[in-house]
Structure 1
Amino acid sequence: MANCEKTREIGREGKSRFKPTMKFPQIIQGGMGAGVSGWRLVHAVSSRGHIGVVSGIALDLILARRLQLGDPGGHMQRALAAFPDQSVSRRIIDRYYIAGGKPSDQPFAAKPVVGDKLSRKLEEMLVAANFAEVFLAKEGHDGMVGINYLNEIQAPLLPSLYGAMLAGVDIVIVGAGIPVEIPKILDGLFRCETVDLKLHVREVESGHAHRISFNPKNMFAGACPPLRHPLFFPIVSSVTLANLLVKRCEGQVDGFIIEGPSAGGHNAPPRGHTKLSPEGEPVYGPRDVIDLAAIESLGRPFWLAGSYGSPKKLAHALAVGAAGIQAGTIFAFCEESGIREDLKRDVIKGCQGGTMRIFTDPVASPTGFPFKVLAIPGTLSDSDLYAKRRRQCDLGYLREVYERPDGTLGWRCPAEDPEQYVRKGGTIDDTVGRKCLCNGLMANIGMAQTRSDNTEELPLVTCGDDLSGILQVLSSGKISYTAADVVDFLLACNET
């Protein structure tokens, strides 16, 4: 069996910032749902010499709600005190901070929804929020910290990337789509230049290519602060996509996360015509198996993801030429993760009792990508509770952009009220079975919105297919475990 040392030398040539014999950490802690892989978890992993990855999803909303909860521990205010422009920090704190926290029955204050035209306040919030999360994750150690974004969530991406770079993020990881423009954007932000991104617009009749832009010079009165150029690791599920990114990206692709369909969260759809199992899940076949020799021939380091959270799988990954593994689920329920403590306890007890079930839902996500849902009582995995929820879109991160007949842009979400969606030009079929991931994921981390009828939004928990590592990492008699326990377990390299 391969020796599981902390790092592995990669002797590959290629267009990359990596030197041919640079050493890489073997473990990447996956960037999970909004706030799950927050700064505490990432700090715990990175300070052990591996790669912790912040979830870059909805960090502006998370910052606003943490401040409204009274900023326990003062961490957000400490991070904002390090932001290069203190006038921005003061405006954010004045707008959202509530000393002692808001009353539990009071709803969170609304935050502007991100669209194709960002106000100065919203740009500031996105930049500062991404800065704060990465700053806290990197505080007090020199380990590598990454940040993960979904390519499908385009509107907040440019200022979010800049905020992460201001805090010295080491790696940018992007999945759920074809992130061909990201390397050029990173290069432009590094040089403090205006950057832009083509929007994926539905129903374009005008022939116009709609783009959004961001100018980092607008953030500061003086010169832009110096930046570190991060590495870029796209998440891919096929050799075809990996090849395309290497050939078409204007800039460098430094490595890959090779993700199989058993990974948590959003999955790539099966290649070819999608078939469903008798249970209603997408069926993956031989065409979805990734040729790792072809990936290795691209000359970039790669990490394997999707049911790789075990010492045996880490040893296998090293044996087939990978730099290591990306593990998410086994970290998702550790003490440092952002998931609510009661949900962690339910999952661990369910694993111990053998009752946990994961369903790859082909329609739950408004993005259209398959999405894994963990069945937990009292969450939106319960079809009756899902049916009772009043459908609305008030957070808007997963909305799709479409072109109106007059050539202007509009935004709609398949998980919103179906009548509203159809009025905006959508089809009723696209709304069937869609779930509000935005509100569900916020409820997962203890930031559920309170509605006018005094009900709270319910959680919607995701994870990968393989929960076996949770039981293996738990010490005898314990009901919880730490990120350090996970790292030690993965590096044991013993047959389990």
Structure 2
Amino acid sequence: MKLKPLVIGELTARLPIIQGGMGVGISLSSLAGAVAAEGGIGIISTAQIGFKEEDFDKKPLEANLRAIGKHIKRARELAPKGIIGVNIMVATKNYGKYVKEAVSNGIDLIISGAGLPLDLPALAGKTKTKLIPIVSSVKAANIILKMWDKKHGVYPDAFVVEGPKAGGHLGFHLEQLENIEELNYDQEIKDIIKLAKEWEEQKNCSIPVIVAGGIRNREDIDYYMNLGAAGVQIASKFVTTKECDAHINYKNAYLNAKEEDIMIVKSPVGMPGRAIRNKFMEKASLEKIPVTSCHSCLEHCNQRDIPYCITDALINAAKGHVDDALLFCGANAFEQNEIKTVKEVMDELTRDE
């Protein structure tokens, strides 16, 4: 069965694959541009995106906003006809400024999670940029649909439904993540798809649902498409590509990881997350790691209370200092066993049997 294109409003991706946004510095213009050039949708993570800018330590906001424009421009150069998006966390400090900067640079779409993006339509303004919330429950999807309709008179251009096997921050309780098989998450996906279709019929609009979390191969893609999904979002498989923006040490951490090395961690963001067990996580479980400076990354962050600085931990990951880093990953990251090109990964994911 040939895969259908992913249609989001006026945007049509030849392949129904969105590359997940990974920060800090894991999915920037190199990876996003490569995925978009192959017919998928490439996503740039805006999380502390300006960490390589000279003034980042002194002026993180200015550095990040400047870097958003740089990376969008570079991704466009790599994929002139491709679809480029950004991932912006609701929990980000100055969230609205990041949204407006991405829109002003002509980004095709914004994917937004780590909180409910209830004000995203107002922040984006009247624009062609497609707005896509990340949800993990039908309850969250319903709240967004009703609030966007009531407050802004609009509806999401799509939903990304992020399941319990995803990487990074997760919209689940710790107990749920420890008993994934008991969640019956397929039913949640079906319920969200059903809800989206009801709104499509009532409002004469289109709200495709994209499934994310733990997707490994073409068989998984076909499975979720048969459930009614319009596409999938995949992240971990793209970490171990030549084009991925991460340091080779980060990529090797995936290649060297065993299944038992994948663990659920408590993030300073206040949400559970999934990461690779390493020296840093062992140290963080035993003692608080002092925070020496603030990078203005999160809206709600108290230096006195957090176990470690998530910006420092993630920047260390991107730079390859893996023993002092938070190594976010998906549940199946341990299955990666070699460095490939984005084209090779996309061909594997979409090859017809």
Q: TM-score, normalised by structure 1?
A: 0.62
Counterpart residue number, 1:36? 26
| 2: CA distance, partners of 1:356 / 1:139 | 40
Matched, 1:160 2:98: yes
Structure 1's 457 and 22: CA in aligned 2 closer, same or farther, altered over 3 A? closer
Counterpart residue number, 2:252? 345
Q: CA deviation at 1:389?
A: 4.0
| Among candidates 86, 90, 94, match of residue 147 of structure 1 | 86
Q: CA deviation at 1:342?
A: 2.0
Q: Secondary structure at the match of 1:382?
A: helix
Counterpart residue number, 2:203? none
Q: CA deviation at 1:261?
A: 1.1
| Among candidates 256, 260, 267, match of residue 163 of structure 2 | 260
Q: Where do 1:62-141 residues align within 5 Å?
A: 62=52, 64=53, 68=54, 96=55, 110-112=57-59, 122=62, 125-140=63-78, 141=80
| 1: CA distance, partners of 2:252 / 2:6 | 35
Counterpart residue number, 1:248? 147
| 2: CA distance, partners of 1:392 / 1:399 | 18
| Among candidates 345, 348, 353, match of residue 489 of structure 1 | 348
Amino acid in structure 1 at the alignment position of 2:269: T
| Among candidates 391, 399, 423, match of residue 291 of structure 2 | 391
Contact 1:396 1:438 in 2 (8 A): no
Structure 1's 56 and 374: CA in aligned 2 closer, same or farther, altered over 3 A? same
Contact 2:27 2:45 in 1 (8 A): yes
Counterpart residue number, 1:275? 175
Contact 1:34 1:55 in 2 (8 A): yes
Q: CA deviation at 1:335?
A: 1.5
How many residues matched? 337
Look at both structures and tell me which one has the larger radius of gyration over its CA atoms. Answer: 1
Q: CA deviation at 1:236?
A: 0.5
Q: CA deviation at 1:438?
A: 0.7
**What percent of counterpart residues are identical?**
23
| 1: CA distance, partners of 2:241 / 2:286 | 27
| Among candidates 359, 378, 396, match of residue 263 of structure 2 | 359
Q: CA deviation at 1:25?
A: 3.5
| 2: CA distance, partners of 1:33 / 1:127 | 15
Counterpart residue number, 2:2? 3
Q: CA deviation at 1:126?
A: 4.1
Matched, 1:464 2:330: yes
Counterpart residue number, 2:183? 286
Structure 1's 468 and 113: CA in aligned 2 closer, same or farther, altered over 3 A? closer
Counterpart residue number, 1:187? 125
Amino acid in structure 1 at the alignment position of 2:144: L
Structure 1's 24 and 49: CA in aligned 2 closer, same or farther, altered over 3 A? closer
Q: CA deviation at 1:267?
A: 0.2
| 1: CA distance, partners of 2:106 / 2:140 | 28
Q: TM-score, normalised by structure 2?
A: 0.85
Q: Where do 1:297-446 residues align within 5 Å?
A: 297=197, 298-299=199-200, 300-350=207-257, 354=258, 357-361=261-265, 363=266, 365-376=267-278, 379-383=279-283, 387=287, 389-398=289-298, 400=300, 412-413=301-302, 416=303, 421=304, 431=306, 434-446=307-319
Q: CA deviation at 1:128?
A: 2.2
| 2: CA distance, partners of 1:381 / 1:457 | 9
Contact 1:3 1:315 in 2 (8 A): no
Structure with greater helix percent:
2
Q: CA deviation at 1:349?
A: 3.3
Amino acid in structure 2 at the alignment position of 1:309: R
Structure 1: runs of 5 or more not aligned: 10-16, 69-95, 97-108, 115-121, 191-228, 401-411, 422-429, 449-455, 472-478
| 2: CA distance, partners of 1:295 / 1:331 | 31
Contact 1:55 1:147 in 2 (8 A): yes
Contact 1:347 1:356 in 2 (8 A): no
Amino acid in structure 2 at the alignment position of 1:398: L
